[in-house]
Amino acid sequence: MSQPANSPQPDGTAKVSFYEKRKKIYAKGVRGYFDNWRIALVIFTQVLFYVSPWLTWNGRQAILLHLVERKFYIFGMVFWPQDVIYLAALLIVSAYALFLVTAVAGRLFCGYACPQTVYTQIFMWIENKIEGDRNARIKLDKGSGAHKLRVKATKHLIWLLFSLWTGFTLVCYFTPVTELINNVMTNNLGSWEIFWIFFYGGFTYLFAGFMREQVCKYMCPYARFQSVMFDPDTLIITYDPERGEPRGVRKKGADLSKLGDCVDCGQCVQVCPTGIDIRNGLQYECIGCAACIDICDQVMDKVGLPRGLVRYSTESAMAKHLTKKEILAHVVRPRILLYTAILILITGLSAWFLAHRIPLKVDIIRDRSTLAREADDGRIENVFMLQIMNTEERPHRYKVTVDGLPGAEIAGNNEVDAVAAGLTSFNVIVSAPPDAGKTGSNPIHFEIEATDNDDIKVREKASFLQP
């Protein structure tokens, strides 16, 4: 028979298990000021997620990361693989924004906008509607019979449908939504589309339905390293032990002068989605959801004591008894100024480059089969292929000129009509006198300019071979 974990052994040692069996958490629902903020953010992020793929722009899906075409459409902008620098800038800006928010206000993102929190909230809301509040859920889990089976089956069915809808929505960002619906209707979904709908949907169901706080406690890498961004002036959710202790139930006739303000009702533990007791101090399991603030304020209202026994505060504010005004004054500190400056700089530079982005890219490929040839008139010709990427969603006519070598010119047609948001190949012949430049490679420049807009032009370097 196996012995329980952490049990004493016959030789006097203790058996310690690194794995702890999960105790199911029945978080009690709570309404309040911070809960309203969370609901607002859940609605905002989910409306954004579920509605965005249905928006149209220029007769196409407004936001589409078209992997097959290798183009990202974001409203009026079209990004090509060559624009990967903007993706890098977006990631850096997001990372710095997260650093800044964490340094100022701790786990604000975790508590209000993290997808794990948001989906868990939605799943808990569905659970609450179907199974009832905390006590009803505990009773149901202890019970058995047809009623339990029916209620549980209903909940899981709704969870599964919602998860599949979430997976479907994710794929809508990568495959045009009309095409995807058509594929579903005609039973013609591709294997990757099926995989991602079920993969993302399956993980939504698993993470938000079953694993919940375990994802935050054991899997989230951000939870692990964010403590390095904390300092004594970072806002955290904290219990005021000086005011609350010694805790105790306020029985009639008890000597209240010997009791702190905490009435030891345990409500803050019951509402906690990670099942911890905020009165034990700052713990890594705390996701900063502020449910314990909302419930404790309600308890304080009931017992006629001031709110804020559990509140947003900072380590130094607790130690030095700082006022709200003094806490706010500590927000401006070197680390915050540095994060803000970097964030403004990168955002500003990215916005400037984006605004001045030329919607034209050109790749020049030399014709390898004919390095250099002599024309009937004795001039030397080199053949190039220009791959013109018109990143605007309207067609353009481009004029190609060449310079850098005395007497060099384009032989034959030097204008090309390029398709909208597409790639157009154009062969050009560069002709130069036989005595121009030196034998071998000579640097030249192509200039490609839109005939309807002087601002759209690029210069590209190439080399002209003289035999």
- Which residues of this protein are in contact with ligand SF4, per CB under 6 A? 237, 239, 244, 262-268, 271-274, 276, 278-279, 286-292, 295-296, 299, 309-310
CB nearer to ligand SF4: pick between 41 and 92: 41
DSSP secondary structure string, 340-388?
HHHHHHHHHHHHHHHHT--SEEEEEEE-SS-S-EE-TTS-EEEEEEEEE
Three-state DSSP state, 391: coil
Please name the helix (run of DSSP H) or strand (run of DSSP E) that holds residue 44, with its range, or none: helix 33-51
Query: What minimum distance in Å lies between the beta carbon of 260 and ligand SF4?
Result: 9
CB nearer to ligand SF4: pick between 266 and 467: 266
To 10 degrees, the CA torsion angle through 232, 237, 243, 245?
-100
Query: What minimum distance in Å lies between the beta carbon of 134 and ligand SF4?
Result: 14
Calculate the alpha carbon distances from 210 to 172, 203, 368, 400 in Å: 26, 10, 60, 62
Q: How far is CA 228 from the centre of its chain?
A: 21
CB nearer to ligand SF4: pick between 161 and 219: 219
CB nearer to ligand SF4: pick between 264 and 409: 264
Asked if 430 and 437 count as a contact pair (C-beta separation under 8 A), the reply is: no
Query: What minimum distance in Å lies between the beta carbon of 459 and ligand SF4?
Result: 57
CB nearer to ligand SF4: pick between 137 and 361: 137
Q: Pick the closest to residue 47 from 122, 134, 149 (CA basis).
A: 122
Query: What minimum distance in Å lies between the beta carbon of 318 and ligand SF4?
Result: 15
Asked if 290 and 313 count as a contact pair (C-beta separation under 8 A), the reply is: no
Query: What minimum distance in Å lies between the beta carbon of 269 and ligand SF4?
Result: 7
Query: What minimum distance in Å lies between the beta carbon of 325 and ligand SF4?
Result: 24
Query: What minimum distance in Å lies between the beta carbon of 14 and ligand SF4?
Result: 29
CB nearer to ligand SF4: pick between 290 and 317: 290
Query: What minimum distance in Å lies between the beta carbon of 220 and ligand SF4?
Result: 13
Whole-angstrom Cα distance, residue 193 to residue 20? 37
Dihedral over Cα of 161, 162, 163, 166: its sign = positive
Query: What minimum distance in Å lies between the beta carbon of 265 and ligand SF4?
Result: 4
CB nearer to ligand SF4: pick between 271 and 380: 271
Contacts of 215 (CB under 8 A, 6+ apart): 116, 207
CB nearer to ligand SF4: pick between 281 and 348: 281
CB nearer to ligand SF4: pick between 292 and 421: 292
Calculate the alpha carbon distances from 55 to 45, 169, 276, 290 in Å: 16, 13, 42, 34
Backbone φ and ψ for 235, nearest 5 degrees, come out as: -70, 130
Query: What minimum distance in Å lies between the beta carbon of 79 and ligand SF4?
Result: 38
CB nearer to ligand SF4: pick between 129 and 302: 302
Q: Which amino acid is at 163?
A: S
Contacts of 278 (CB under 8 A, 6+ apart): 237, 238, 239, 268, 269, 272, 286, 292, 310
Whole-angstrom Cα distance, residue 221 to residue 116? 13
